[in-house]
Structure 1
Amino acid sequence: MHPDKVDRQRLKKLTDLPNIGKAGADDLKILGIDTPDQLVGRCPYELYESLCRLTGKQHDPCVIDVFISVTRFMNGEPALVWWAYTEERKLTLANG
């Protein structure tokens, strides 16, 4: 299957997502996200802020990049490596 034609409905585990391993899956579970489809329509910046608030610590900003990658992927965009979003995140936060 062509990578851009992934059947996202078949993704059942968080670790089925690109850029998500055990630690990333654990972060998402803290946010109450247990399945990939729960990421559809979510804001990666809000997810990050919630994660920091719920854990009581400031997480590395690259977590935002990972959240951007998985929310965009679940909203139909091609799978990209998380660092493809680093510059976008830096610009967004600088202009925010």
Structure 2
Amino acid sequence: MTLTQTIKELTIIPGIGKSIATDLYNIGIRHVDDLKGKSPERLYDSSNHFAGCAQDKCLLYVFRCAVYYAETPADKRDTEKLKWWNWKETGKTNTNPQRKK
């Protein structure tokens, strides 16, 4: 899948624009389904490694939102959880409320 195709697919996720879609592409994410089962923290670490620096923590929050979007059926998604800023540090790493720790 090309970068252009990946950007088109990933930007359907709330909070993901061209730049973050490119970040995801750079770490091997090509489809929304590729986010299922992924650790947002590991995605963030991989993106930092690729970029060669620690990026803004907001990127981690966007990754948490993106994994939630990918793992949660459309009819079960909580609209508040589709806002990346609602994924700030809470002390929990569970990205899907339907999953038990």
Range into which the TM-score falls when normalised by the shorter chain: 0.7 to 0.9
**From 34, 41, 66, the counterpart of 2:37:** 41
Residue in structure 2 matching 1:18, options 7, 14, 29? 14
1:74 counterpart = 2:76: no
SS at match of 2:54: coil
Superposition CA RMSD, Å: 1.8
Q: How many residues align?
A: 80
The runs of 5 or more residues in structure 2 that have no matched partner are: 1-7, 94-101
- Stretches of 4+ moved more than 6 A in 1? none
- TM-score normalized by the length of structure 2: 0.72
**SS of 2:28 mapped into structure 1:** coil
Q: Distance in 1 between matches of 2:32 and 2:67?
A: 9
Counterpart check, 1:50 vs 2:46? yes
In the superposition, the TM-score normalised over structure 1's length comes to 0.75
